[in-house]
């Protein structure tokens, strides 16, 4: 594998509807794409960092700066012969996992395309389709929430995740459970909006038999999650707190979670995501694949990851139409509550040139 250079491409993707969480409302997705070019192929990676540092410390322009000034030069100097060596070449740069993930994914996609191997095969997928859940943002009213959930269930989604925050938690969860019954796979996502002092209030969610409550406390508060897990019956799932296989192992050992949400961008890439899967599987801890409003490029990689054996809960790998009226790749379309795992070389999908041009804001080339 001989690298020629990298393209940084900024695109803007309007959402079909505003998406509100405890840390803000998103109406369009400003996405940084990375294209790796080698002598034999090209590959794509999607940086999941948001436009602003509200979900995490990383943000798109910061990711571009660290890619341009540090990560790409480090990779060029190392001259890795295969993708597993990329992480080691980037290790001297602390943090910046979302930028690293985009770079590693682009290189891996290029390598696999050149060799005619699929992302799913490389990761160890055991299924050719994966069940899909959908994440439902905070709404202006409970009736509006019920209408939204009704629509998603009619589309075939097999699991509903409700975003919650103080003041929007027990009432909407109760309403959805009462309206759609005990058979509905239902979970809640707090995005770190609570404190341990809210344990009694969060325990009020226990009667609704949720699959899990996701990241109720701050990402740094792993011990607090361990304490909370002993105070409520609803299984605690960690998201933002899990940044590596080592942090997953520590959280499990502390009793801070019974379930783990794996987001490849958050942990530095799909190879580290696979290591987290392996650690959790060894401890009997279920995992599922989270989403970051990805385009079809990131969605293809997430669907491949979700086909690994330890991903036993439906993830946030929703259809393209959940977020975008027009994706930059062939759209992912729900079929019986499932999405197919791409089987072509690399990610198995590629951007449509016309669609990509339509939504591109600017492009930068970095030769190596």
CA atoms within 13 A on the CB side of 254: 20
Which position among 2, 100, 161, 263 bears the catalytic label?
263
CATH of domain 121-340: 3.20.20.120
Per-residue pLDDT tens over the stretch 284-323 = 999 999 999 999 999 999 999 999 999 999 999 999 999 9
More confident residue, 22 or 197: 197
Residues of the chain with CATH 3.30.390.10: 3-116+349-367
How much is the mean pLDDT over the chain? 97
pLDDT at 1: 83
Nearest in space to 38 (alpha carbons), one of 89, 71, 91, 75: 75
Q: How far apart are CA 75 and CA 67, in angstroms?
A: 10
Q: Is 163 a catalytic residue?
A: yes
Per-residue pLDDT for 182 more than 90? yes
Per-residue pLDDT for 133 more than 80? yes
Average pLDDT over residues 88-98: 97
pLDDT at 116: 97
Q: Is 263 a catalytic residue?
A: yes
CATH 3.30.390.10 is right for the domain spanning 3-116+349-367: yes
pLDDT at 173: 98
Q: How far apart are CA 271 and CA 264, in angstroms?
A: 8
pLDDT at 14: 95
Six-digit token string for 85: 């060596």
Per-residue pLDDT tens over the stretch 227-269 = 999 999 999 999 999 999 999 999 999 999 999 999 999 999 9
Query: What is the phi-psi region of residue 131: left when phi exceeds 0, alpha when psi lies from -120 to 50, beta otherwise?
Result: beta
Residues of the chain with CATH 3.20.20.120: 121-340
The owner of tokens 């770079």 is 103
Per-residue pLDDT for 23 more than 80? no
Per-residue pLDDT tens over the stretch 151-167 = 999 999 999 999 999 99
Average pLDDT over residues 168-173: 98
Confidence of residue 194 (pLDDT cuts 50, 70, 90): very high
Q: Would you say the pTM of this structure is higher than 0.85?
A: yes
């Amino acid at each position: 594998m001989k690298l020629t250079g990298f393209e940084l491409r900024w695109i803007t993707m309007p959402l079909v509807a505003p998406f509100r969480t405890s840390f803000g409302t998103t109406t369009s997705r400003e996405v940084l794409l990375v294209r790796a070019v080698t002598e034999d192929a090209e590959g794509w990676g999607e940086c999941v960092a948001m436009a602003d540092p509200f979900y995490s410390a990383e943000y798109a322009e910061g990711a571009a700066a660290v890619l341009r000034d540090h990560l790409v030069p480090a990779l060029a100097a190392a001259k890795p012969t295969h993708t597993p060596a990329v992480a080691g070449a980037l290790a001297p740069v602390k943090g910046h996992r979302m930028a690293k993930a985009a770079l590693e994914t682009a290189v891996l996609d290029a390598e696999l395309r050149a060799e005619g191997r699929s992302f799913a095969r490389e990761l160890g997928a055991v299924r050719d389709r994966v069940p899909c859940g959908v994440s439902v943002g905070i709404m202006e009213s409970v009736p509006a929430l019920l209408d939204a959930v009704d629509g998603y269930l009619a589309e075939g989604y097999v699991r509903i995740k409700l975003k919650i925050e103080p003041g929007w938690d027990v009432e909407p969860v109760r309403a959805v459970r009462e309206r759609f019954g005990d058979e509905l796979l239902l979970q809640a996502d707090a995005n770190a909006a609570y404190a341990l002092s809210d344990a009694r209030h969060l325990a009020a969610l226990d009667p609704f038999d949720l699959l899990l409550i996701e990241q109720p406390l701050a990402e740094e508060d792993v011990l607090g999650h361990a304490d909370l897990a002993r105070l409520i019956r609803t299984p605690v799932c960690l998201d933002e707190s899990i940044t590596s296989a080592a942090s997953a192992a520590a959280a499990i050992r502390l009793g801070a979670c019974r379930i783990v949400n794996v987001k490849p961008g958050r942990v530095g890439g799909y190879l580290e995501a696979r290591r987290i899967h392996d650690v959790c599987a060894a401890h009997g801890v279920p995992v599922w694949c989270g989403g970051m409003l990805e385009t079809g490029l990131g969605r293809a990689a997430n669907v491949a990851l979700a086909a690994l054996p330890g991903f036993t809960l439906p993830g946030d790998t929703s259809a393209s139409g959940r977020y975008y009226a027009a994706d930059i790749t062939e759209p992912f379309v729900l079929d019986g509550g499932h999405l197919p795992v791409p089987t072509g070389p690399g990610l198995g999908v590629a951007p449509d040139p016309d669609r990509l041009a339509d939504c591109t804001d600017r492009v930068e080339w970095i030769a190596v």
